[in-house]
């Protein structure tokens, strides 16, 4: 079996293949290796070794993520971005090639072997115009937020959003995100278990838990 390696940064992404260590039924070992593309000097790189056990989806993976924290990005947003990546993890998933500052790229996307975007994943509080564009560009769209979901839903209500009824809004418990984000170090070992919509997160020696709740946009 093989494992997919991805290079994530504010520079380009390049898929690579290497030999894995786990039988297929137990998941594959995946990593994102260091990028040779220079980062902006003000960005901070986080190396996150994630052990993912998503019981709800039957996904079990080891992920080595190299994530660039953009100067305009909070650690709460970055943790939301990393958790969304894990909860959506499948073959072909990548972070944005241009970093979160690229208005034309989804923060997270899933592509098929031809390069077509099959899933556009938004983070935080995208506006209705951006969701409308995303729904026309990809087969499916989802939003993961650490903000108040009621505020987002009011913002979207009655707005022109293509296939709005098909777009789930996944809201993390705000206290869970805020507390856990404070303990993210530049090198962190993460254990993430997901069962029944409940997240159990270990960052080094500290443990946290919180729910992720799905909401839908009203027509």
Query: What pLDDT shows up at residue 101?
Result: 64
What topology is assigned to 2-216 in CATH? Answer: Restriction endonuclease-like alpha-beta roll fold (3.10.640)
Both tokens assigned to 25: 């039924």
Q: Would you call 197 exposed, middle or buried from its count of C-beta atoms within 10 A (0-12, 13-18, 19+)?
A: exposed
CA distance 201 to 204: 10
Query: Among residues of the chain, what percentage have pLDDT more than 70?
Result: 79
Domain boundaries along the sequence of the chain: 2-216
| Local structure of residue 26 (DSSP, 8 states) | G
Query: What pLDDT shows up at residue 193?
Result: 98
Query: What pLDDT shows up at residue 126?
Result: 95
What's the full length of the chain, in residues? 219
Query: What pLDDT shows up at residue 91?
Result: 97
Query: What pLDDT shows up at residue 97?
Result: 73
> Does residue 212 contact residue 170 with C-beta atoms inside 8 Å?
yes
Report CA 94 to chain centroid distance, whole Å: 9
Q: Give which of 172, 177, 176 is closest to 213, Cα–Cα.
A: 172
User: What average pLDDT does this structure show over 120-137?
Assistant: 96
Q: What are 192's strand-pairing partners?
A: 52, 201
Determine phi and psi for 17, rounding to 5 degrees.
-125, 145
Average pLDDT, the chain: 85
What does the pLDDT look like over 66-116, one tens digit per residue?
Answer: 999 988 899 999 999 999 999 999 999 999 876 666 778 999 999 999 999
Both tokens assigned to 181: 């984000």
Other CB atoms within 10 A of residue 24 CB: 8
Query: What pLDDT shows up at residue 22?
Result: 35
CA distance 208 to 204: 11
Both tokens assigned to 77: 């947003």
Q: At what angle do helices 149-156 and 128-137 cross, to 10 degrees?
A: 80
13-27, 35-49, 197-211 — which one is most confidently predicted on average? 197-211
Of 33-42, 118-127, 151-160, which gets the smallest average pLDDT? Answer: 33-42
Of 15-29, 32-46, 149-163, which gets the smallest average pLDDT? Answer: 15-29
Query: What pLDDT shows up at residue 171?
Result: 98
| Local structure of residue 14 (DSSP, 8 states) | -
Query: What pLDDT shows up at residue 42?
Result: 78
What does the pLDDT look like over 162-215, one tens digit per residue?
Answer: 999 999 999 999 999 999 999 999 999 999 999 999 999 999 999 999 999 999
Query: What pLDDT shows up at residue 17?
Result: 33
């Amino acid at each position: 079996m093989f494992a997919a390696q991805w290079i994530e940064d504010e520079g380009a992404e390049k898929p690579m293949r290497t030999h894995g260590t786990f039988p297929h039924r137990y998941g594959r070992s995946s990593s994102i290796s260091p990028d040779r593309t220079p980062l902006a000097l003000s960005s901070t790189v986080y190396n996150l070794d994630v052990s993912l056990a998503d019981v709800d989806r039957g996904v079990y993976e080891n992920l080595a993520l190299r994530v660039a924290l953009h100067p305009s990005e909070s650690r709460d947003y970055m943790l939301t971005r990393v958790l969304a990546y894990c909860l959506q993890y499948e073959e072909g998933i990548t972070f944005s090639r241009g970093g979160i500052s690229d208005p034309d790229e989804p923060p997270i996307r899933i592509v098929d072997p031809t390069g077509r975007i099959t899933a556009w994943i938004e983070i935080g509080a995208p506006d209705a115009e951006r969701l409308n564009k995303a729904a026309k560009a990809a087969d499916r769209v989802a939003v993961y937020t650490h903000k108040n979901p009621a505020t987002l839903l009011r913002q979207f209500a009655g707005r022109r959003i293509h296939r709005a009824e098909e777009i789930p809004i996944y809201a993390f418990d705000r206290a869970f995100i805020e507390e856990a984000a404070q303990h993210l170090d530049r090198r962190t070992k993460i254990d993430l278990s997901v069962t029944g919509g409940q997240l159990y997160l270990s960052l080094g020696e500290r443990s946290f838990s919180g729910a992720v709740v799905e909401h839908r946009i009203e027509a």
